[in-house]
Amino acid sequence: MSAWYETAIFYHMYPLGLSGAPYDNNQEEVVHRFDGLKKWLPHIRDLGCGAIYIGPLFESTTHGYDTKDYYKVDRRLGDNNDFKTFVQQAHELGLKVVVDGVFNHTGREFFAFQDIRQNREGSRYCGWYKGVNFWGNNYYNDGFGYESWRNCVELANLNLQNREVKDYLFDVIRFWIHEFDIDGIRLDCADCLDFDFMKEMRWMTGNEKQDFWLMGEVIHGDYARWANQEMLHSVTNYELHKGLYSGHNDHNYFEIAHTIRRQFDENGGIYRGRTLYSFVDNHDVDRIVSKLNDKRHIKPVYTLLYTLPGLPSIYYGSEWGVDGRKANGGDPALRPQLDLEAMDANPPVPGLKEFLIFLGKCRKEHPVIGTGRYRELLLTNRQYAFARIGEQESVVVMVNNDENEAQLSVPLPHGAQRITDLETGAEVPQENGRITATLPAGGCRLLSVV
């Protein structure tokens, strides 16, 4: 039996934004915003998702990635008991819970960094951070220098080759597994993390909890360096993410098809046997609705997200077509407060949520979509068809990015007794091993072939 993380659909929540928490954490009291976040759990289940990626959650100073206490849930969201209840309720609904692991750096309010500020050369934590020196200075005029993530001086880089640092962080992970019963960790800035640190983490978490999932944020590079039997189970597929929107904006399905052929083709794909984490938007990039030149392409984009090799992820609010660009306010513009009932009552893109429910239902009732071999069947700039092929069933997927309707003639992946349209339930005729279909502008079609 396959592990849950090999076929799951993810729902991505940025809880500080979603719940309307203030940007600066300068309050003394705990505010129990998890009470509102728990209301989203039935909605996530009804979308067809099987897992939640939620984070960041560690107590932090501002945006959540400047950690000041790894053992506490951010007080702007609630307390540890609130999150424990959240996980319990998610599990009762059949939802796995994955949290952000921010282990590349800490915020300046973290106890080890504060100790260096106070005790300078006498601090026992000087070796916990990279590049600490007392002949330099920094933006905050502390009288010492240190390395930071992308020169963001509020994010001080940890020295993950230091045994004490590794043991501390592994104790943190054990605490979150035992205290909250989490099911996995998304590693922030995984492309900056020490490889030996990740190898040891894989061994440790596998011993702590069977089927514990590790996924890394990796933007560029050979994903196989991180996603393998020794380190992480999966990484973010930014290469596919780029193709999913630009392949539609440029009327260039060759870009998407080339990416998939290179990654997952049954005859030589470099990532065959790996399951990457697929997405069309997240808390760091513009919303998919804002990126598309032709909003009619939203359905083929999501059809490809759900049916191409990978684990599909929905970013909160995008199931209704919420827009957002960094240019309109930086990261906070991508992380808005949303009201569940208001979104359902007045969605920006009517019918999109229902279409995602349909796609989720297809993946559940036809698991070959998530596990079958990939084979390209037809490719032009504006039309694209492929199959996910299994032992008993295959599913053929067709999409059209033209401004006009298009007729496609597609070869069947194998002999068929019956072909069924998964959206309408109608039987589809074949002729000489081919099927002919007319797709509207921005149209898509899924066919079961048995």
Q: Is the pTM of this model over 0.95?
A: yes
Closest by CA position to 130, among listed 111, 109, 110, 113: 113
Are 258 and 393 part of one and the same domain? no
Closest by CA position to 5, among listed 315, 171, 217, 234: 234
Taking 90 as the threshold, does the pLDDT of residue 36 lie above it? yes
Are 169 and 258 part of one and the same domain? yes
Are 218 and 321 part of one and the same domain? yes
Are 102 and 123 part of one and the same domain? no
Are 131 and 231 part of one and the same domain? no
**What is the pLDDT at residue 238?**
98
Taking 90 as the threshold, does the pLDDT of residue 231 lie above it? yes
Are 330 and 419 part of one and the same domain? no
**What is the pLDDT at residue 328?**
86
Question: By residue range, what is the domain housing residue 140?
Answer: 110-153
**What is the pLDDT at residue 1?**
72
Let me know if 22 is exposed, middle or buried by CB neighbors in 10 A (0-12, 13-18, 19+): exposed
Taking 80 as the threshold, does the pLDDT of residue 223 lie above it? yes
Alpha-carbon distances of 123 from 71, 120, 129, 384, rounded to whole Å: 22, 6, 12, 61
**What is the pLDDT at residue 329?**
87
Write phi, then psi, for 123 (nearest 5 degrees): -75, 135
Dihedral angle, C-alpha 191, 196, 197, 201, nearest 10 °: 110
Name the amino acid, one letter, at 254: F
Domain boundary, last residue among 334, 368, 402: 368
**What is the pLDDT at residue 415?**
92
Pairing of strands 444-449, 434-439: unpaired
Taking 80 as the threshold, does the pLDDT of residue 16 lie above it? yes
Are 77 and 172 part of one and the same domain? yes
**What is the pLDDT at residue 348?**
98
Average pLDDT over residues 20-25: 97
Q: How many distinct structural domains can be found in the chain?
A: 3
CATH of residue 284's domain is 3.20.20.80
CA distance 378 to 408: 8
Average pLDDT over residues 69-93: 98
Are 136 and 232 part of one and the same domain? no
Q: Say how far residue 449 (Cα) sits from the centre of its chain.
A: 30
Tell me the pLDDT tens digit for each residue of 271-290: 999 999 999 999 999 999 99
CA distance 30 to 16: 13
Q: How confident is the model at residue 416 (pLDDT cuts 50, 70, 90)?
A: confident
Are 430 and 301 part of one and the same domain? no
Hey, how many other C-beta atoms are within 10 angstroms of the C-beta on 193?
A: 23
Dihedral angle, C-alpha 257, 262, 264, 268, nearest 10 °: 130
**What is the pLDDT at residue 73?**
98
Domain boundary, last residue among 101, 124, 153: 153
**What is the pLDDT at residue 371?**
95
Are 253 and 347 part of one and the same domain? yes
Q: Which residues are CB-neighbours of 300 under 8 A, at least 6 positions away?
A: 248, 399, 400, 401, 442, 443, 444
**What is the pLDDT at residue 152?**
95
Tell me the pLDDT tens digit for each residue of 287-319: 999 999 999 999 999 999 999 999 999 999 999
Q: Which residues are CB-neighbours of 282 under 8 A, at least 6 positions away?
A: 12, 313, 315
Q: How confident is the model at residue 2 (pLDDT cuts 50, 70, 90)?
A: confident
CATH of residue 445's domain is 2.60.40.1180
Taking 90 as the threshold, does the pLDDT of residue 143 lie above it? yes
**What is the pLDDT at residue 221?**
94
**What is the pLDDT at residue 265?**
86
Are 129 and 177 part of one and the same domain? no
Q: How confident is the model at residue 321 (pLDDT cuts 50, 70, 90)?
A: very high
Taking 90 as the threshold, does the pLDDT of residue 264 lie above it? yes
Tell me the pLDDT tens digit for each residue of 243-257: 999 999 999 999 999
CA distance 120 to 107: 17
Domain boundary, last residue among 345, 368, 391: 368
**What is the pLDDT at residue 157?**
98
Angle formed by the axes of helices 298-307 and 352-365, to 10°? 20
Taking 80 as the threshold, does the pLDDT of residue 359 lie above it? yes
Tell me the pLDDT tens digit for each residue of 188-199: 999 999 999 999
Taking 90 as the threshold, does the pLDDT of residue 117 lie above it? yes
Are 163 and 255 part of one and the same domain? yes
